[in-house]
Amino acid sequence: MGLNLTKLKVKLLDILAGKQTIILNREDAEKIGVHVHDRVRVQSGSNQITAIVQVTATFIDSGQIGIMKDIAEKLHVKDGDEVNIRLASYPESLEYIRKKLKGVTLSKDEIFAIVRDVVEGNLSDLEIAAYLLAEEFYGMSMEEVEYMARAMADVGEKIDFEEPVYDKHSIGGVPGNKVSLLIVPIVAAAGLLIPKTSSKAITSPAGTADTMEVLAPVKFTAQELKDIAKKVRGAIVWGGGLNIAPADDIFIRVEYPLALDPESQMLASIMSKKLAVGVDFLVLDIPTGKGAKVETMNEARTLARKFVELGERLGIHVECGITYGGQPVGHVVGPALEAREALLALQGKGPTSLIEKSTALAGILLELGGLAMRGKGKGIAMEILTSGKALKKMREIIEAQGGDPNVEPEDIPVGEHRVRIEAPCDGYITDVSNDAIKKIARAAGAPMDKGAGIILYGKRGHKVKRGEPILEICAERESRLSEAYALAMKLQPITVEGMLLQRIPEYR
């Protein structure tokens, strides 16, 4: 193949393809002998690209080729120009995906080829999904995970901070986990460099980037992040704003409709981003418990060992902290509420559980950085917190990122449409469901409505009296509040000895 040229006239489409795709008329496709998902080589003068074929019966006439704006720019063609096209072989990476679908272990080169083609748009979503499904079914060897992490890092931008970099990462699944907003300033106040990149929520009510964004901008270029971190030793920015490990967003996009989350890909994804920003020491928070991503201690230990091994392969010193993840962390969920709670905790007024967890994890980093003896890190982290140094550092970070350094917790607006749910009887709270809390907070508008969220007045083991409020939903919009309330009635996020929940005042 390769010699049969067909000449077609460009019909320029005012759409961004995003992917390497072109559109052919069904008749032409038949004549050329190409099918949907086949690849063609499109050539204009000395410019050529390979693109995936879409076929239409009516929109593109026979003799035409539909070319979208971004592809037209690559080819330097305009409406009405003539281009040559011919059937192209599919990218080799598709052959590797087919191999993986048969359970074959892939080589370093094969994995790099897949990641490169994912980022360059040479593979369709369907093909990428097939790869991830094969990962889910067959798993990946630790070597494959290593290559995947390296490939994902190498294909994107890298930042070199030119000194040891410390970092903290939490495995997802637990709402209210705003510990980064405490750990980063504690560790930076101690003098270690901790330029944290974080994510926005996909299925949760608040990612760290969503919460930090309440206090300061989070979108920066690599150079800006470097400048900020060098100046104040710490930062909490949105990883999606940088171009690090760009394959990850694409993987997440195709995993999302399938509710797919292969463990091997999670390992590679997290570590690829650490590689890209040159992390040397990482503390990994593994929240464990019902409704968290990791449900049992055994799973947590196995996962921890994998992270440590992968870290060794990648030259990153990883220590894992298995934490309790059976219910939300702290007492609030949602960007504004969490930013508030974090500030309060930095002022010594936060919930004990949040402070305990944050200082424990920060302490591990202080030990890794040689600033505390083994076992003494948490105490030092706590000192930094209670002395107000962490708060001062957080204000410096907020200022360096362009926020208001003098922000006080009460300055942060929280949704004014509210409804309380009260205990229907005396008793102990036996369960606070991570999953229900996340769904209700999202229904209330989080994370897009920053002020939306949930306040928990009681958590597991708390004794409550009939009529006491146990949960409050906050929303910026009345319509969102009623949706969230309806969902809360259905999902029963808090269980008090099995009784149904009621609303006071009665909702119309």
Question: What phi and psi values does residue 10 have, to the nearest 5 degrees?
Answer: -70, 125
Residue 345 or 481 with smaller CB distance to a second copy: 481
Of 196, 230, 209, nearest to 361 (Cα)? Answer: 196
Q: Residue 328, preceding bond cis, omega within 30 degrees?
A: no
CA distance 470 to 387: 32
Q: How far is the CB of 164 from a second copy (least distance, A)?
A: 36
Kindly name the residue from 61, 261, 280, 426 that is annotated as catalytic. Answer: 261
Active site residue 261: yes
Residue 38 or 224 with smaller CB distance to a second copy: 38
Q: How far is the CB of 448 from a second copy (least distance, A)?
A: 5
* Neighbouring C-beta atoms of residue 138, cutoff 10 Å: 17
**DSSP single-letter state for residue 239:** G
* Under 8 Å between Cβ of 166 and 196: no
Q: How far is the CB of 34 from a second copy (least distance, A)?
A: 10
* Under 8 Å between Cβ of 475 and 417: yes
User: Rounded to whole angstroms, what are the CA distances from 87 to 12, 32, 34, 75, 91?
Assistant: 21, 7, 7, 17, 12
Q: How far is the CB of 294 from a second copy (least distance, A)?
A: 18
The upper half-sphere exposure of residue 462, i.e. CA atoms within 13 Å in the direction of its Cβ, equals 19
Of 385, 378, 379, nearest to 342 (Cα)? Answer: 385
Residue 3 or 505 with smaller CB distance to a second copy: 3
Report DSSP letters for 281-309, one per residue: EEEEEEEESTTSSB-SHHHHHHHHHHHHH
Q: How far is the CB of 302 from a second copy (least distance, A)?
A: 20
Residue 11 or 301 with smaller CB distance to a second copy: 11
* Neighbouring C-beta atoms of residue 498, cutoff 10 Å: 11
Q: How far is the CB of 289 from a second copy (least distance, A)?
A: 21
Residue 202 or 297 with smaller CB distance to a second copy: 202
Q: How far is Cα of residue 353 from the mean position of the Cα atoms in its chain? A: 24
Q: How far is Cα of residue 408 from the mean position of the Cα atoms in its chain? A: 28
Q: Are strands 39-44 and 281-288 parallel, antiparallel or unpaired?
A: unpaired
Q: How far is the CB of 83 from a second copy (least distance, A)?
A: 18
Residue 2 or 505 with smaller CB distance to a second copy: 2
Applying CB under 8 A, the residues found at the interface with a second copy are 1-4, 13-16, 18, 30-33, 35-38, 56-59, 69, 90, 94, 97-98, 101, 124-127, 129-130, 133-134, 136-137, 202, 253-254, 256-260, 442-443, 445, 448, 477, 479-480, 482-483, 487
Structure tokens at 445: 């508008």
Residue 418 or 490 with smaller CB distance to a second copy: 490
- The residue with tokens 């072989």 is 89
For residues 96, 97, 103, 104, the Cα torsion angle rounded to the nearest 10 degrees is 10
Angle at 330 between CA 317 and CA 375, to 5 degrees: 35
**Residues designated catalytic:** 261
